[in-house]
Amino acid sequence: MKSRVLNRSLKLNIYKTLIRPVVTYECEGWTLTSRNEQQLRIFERKILRKIFDPVQDGKGFWRIRKNHELNELIGNADIVRFIKSRRIAWLGHVTRIDGMRMPRGILEWKPMGRRIRGRPRKRWIEDIEKHIQMMGIRGWRKLSKERTEWKKITEKAKTHSGL
């Protein structure tokens, strides 16, 4: 990533096509905590700082790029928003498949019994419903049946500032 032979767009393309898919493999089933989100953003910023070289300020001193500068350079599409959009896309896929298949059954399954003492762990569907609500989408179950509409929602999630 520090090579001068490759230009920035090629390095960014390598990151988006090779590195990010490896890191986010099977991310559709993750329930992210704020600590996980922070660690993923730190990882991504380290790579982006190597891709986008240091800049020279007005006084002639070199400095690394700040977080908001990196966000502007990548178009506000960080790795956490990418993961959340993939999870929303997976939710749409699962709601469209036949009700007799395993993923749909697991999504609609209501566990019996009591949860353990203490603060309950965040469930996958609750987490995604919170993100959909933050995006201001109402009636997501009906919208998820229409593939083209749901695709627009997942694309919007990649750059949504609330996620």
Q: What is the pLDDT of residues 70-91, one digit of tens each?
A: 988 888 889 999 999 999 999 9
Asked, for residue 40, whether it belongs to a domain, the answer is yes
The CA distance from 86 to 26, in Å, is: 9
> Do 129 and 68 belong to one domain?
no
> Do 86 and 130 belong to one domain?
yes
> Do 91 and 138 belong to one domain?
yes
What is the DSSP code (8-state) at residue 59?
A: T
157 CB contacts (<8 Å, ≥6 apart)?
Answer: 81, 84, 85, 88, 131, 135, 163
Coil, helix or strand at residue 26: coil
Q: Give residue 77's pLDDT.
A: 85
> Do 53 and 91 belong to one domain?
no
Q: Which domain holds residue 102?
A: 81-108+123-159
Q: Contact at 8 Å (CB) between 107 and 94?
A: yes
> Do 65 and 102 belong to one domain?
no
Q: Contact at 8 Å (CB) between 99 and 105?
A: yes
Asked, for residue 116, whether it belongs to a domain, the answer is no
Q: Contact at 8 Å (CB) between 156 and 81?
A: no
**pLDDT confidence bin for 53, thresholds 50/70/90:** confident
Asked, for residue 113, whether it belongs to a domain, the answer is no
Asked, for residue 49, whether it belongs to a domain, the answer is yes
Q: Give residue 122's pLDDT.
A: 82
Asked, for residue 66, whether it belongs to a domain, the answer is yes
Asked, for residue 118, whether it belongs to a domain, the answer is no
pTM metric for this prediction: 0.87
> Do 102 and 69 belong to one domain?
no
Cβ density class 92-105: b for 16+ within 10 Å, e for less: bebbeeeeeeeebe
> Do 68 and 87 belong to one domain?
no
Asked, for residue 1, whether it belongs to a domain, the answer is no
Dig out the tokens for 74 from the structure. 């990548």
> Do 38 and 94 belong to one domain?
no
For the chain, the domain total comes to 2
> Do 90 and 152 belong to one domain?
yes
> Do 138 and 154 belong to one domain?
yes
> Do 57 and 18 belong to one domain?
yes
Which one-letter amino acid corresponds to residue 55? V
> Do 54 and 96 belong to one domain?
no
Asked, for residue 98, whether it belongs to a domain, the answer is yes
Q: What percent of the chain has pLDDT over 70?
A: 100
Residue 163's CB is within 10 A of a number of other CB atoms, namely: 21
